[in-house]
Each structure stands twice: as C-alpha cells, then as structure tokens.
C-alpha cells in the first residue's frame, strides 16, 4: 500500500471513530437529561379586549440546556395557545389570544432541549370579549 493511501485510510478511520464517539456522547447526554428547567414565575399576566392576553415571565435556567435555548409555552385551561418570545433584558413575553371569555387558568411551561417541561402555578386571567372583534385583529 502506498504511503499516501495509508495516510488517507488512517485519516478516514480517525474521523469516523471521532464522529461516532461524539454522536454517542451527544445522544447519551440528551437521553440522560430528565430534569425540567426552573419554574417560571409570573412577571405579568393580564386580559384585555378581544380576548387578548399579555403574559411575561423572567427567564429560567436548566441543568443542561443553555438559557437562550429554553422555550416557553403558554397554556390556557390546559390548551397550548402559543409561545413567549425573548425580548432581551425584559425577559420572555407575548401577546396571545385566549379561547374563551371569562376566567382562564393560564400557565407557562419552560421546555428544555430534551423535552422536559416545568410548569408555573396557574394565574387566573379574565378574557374580555369586545363586540366587533375579528380574528387576527392584532
């Protein structure tokens, strides 16, 4: 076997071994993360006209997932109604729509990269229906 071919074969073998080892470590790390992120604490949750909901929470931390990769889902009466957006130093917040007028139990879930979900305590938010509201008014 020529020297050039021997070096190329050794290089391919080394890259394959390294890639396999790294893939295994990544999969093992993701598979062993069973701890949910911290519990979101409400900064604000309020209902407005046309079933509009404004909700915000400070960012939470996780034992594995970097803080900027944690997602935040909002549930009203157990139904997912949307996600909070990262607004920089002011935390996570969004303007969403409730699905029904009157009192709604609103919770925020922090979700890490492994899919572990924490949940906040419920905040009761009143949805106000205003005559003349149309879907997509925001």
Same-domain status, 60 and 113: yes
Domain that holds residue 107: 44-127
- Average pLDDT estimate for 88-117: 93
CATH code where residue 50 lies: 2.60.40.10
Same-domain status, 52 and 107: yes
CA distances from 46 to 9, 90, 118 (A): 64, 17, 21
Same-domain status, 11 and 65: no
Same-domain status, 116 and 92: yes
Same-domain status, 110 and 54: yes
Q: Do the domain assignments include residue 137?
A: no
Is-above-0.85 flag for pTM? no
What does pLDDT average to over the chain? 82
Same-domain status, 20 and 72: no
Q: Please check the confidence at residue 25 and state whether its pLDDT lies above 50.
A: no
* Cα 106 to Cα 124: distance, rounded to the nearest angstrom: 6
């Amino acid at each position: 076997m020529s020297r050039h071919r021997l070096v190329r074969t050794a290089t391919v073998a080394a890259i394959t071994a390294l890639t396999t080892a790294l893939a295994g470590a990544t999969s093992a790390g993701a598979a062993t993360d069973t701890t949910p992120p911290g519990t979101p604490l409400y900064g604000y949750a309020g209902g407005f006209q046309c079933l509009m909901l404004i909700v915000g929470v400070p960012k939470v931390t996780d034992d594995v997932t970097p803080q900027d990769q944690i997602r935040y889902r909002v549930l009203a009466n157990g139904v997912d109604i949307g996600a909070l957006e990262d607004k920089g130093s002011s935390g996570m917040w969004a303007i969403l729509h409730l699905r029904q007028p009157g009192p709604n139990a609103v919770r925020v879930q922090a979700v890490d990269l492994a899919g572990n979900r924490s949940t906040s305590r419920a905040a009761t938010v009143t949805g106000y229906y205003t005559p003349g509201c149309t879907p997509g008014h925001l």
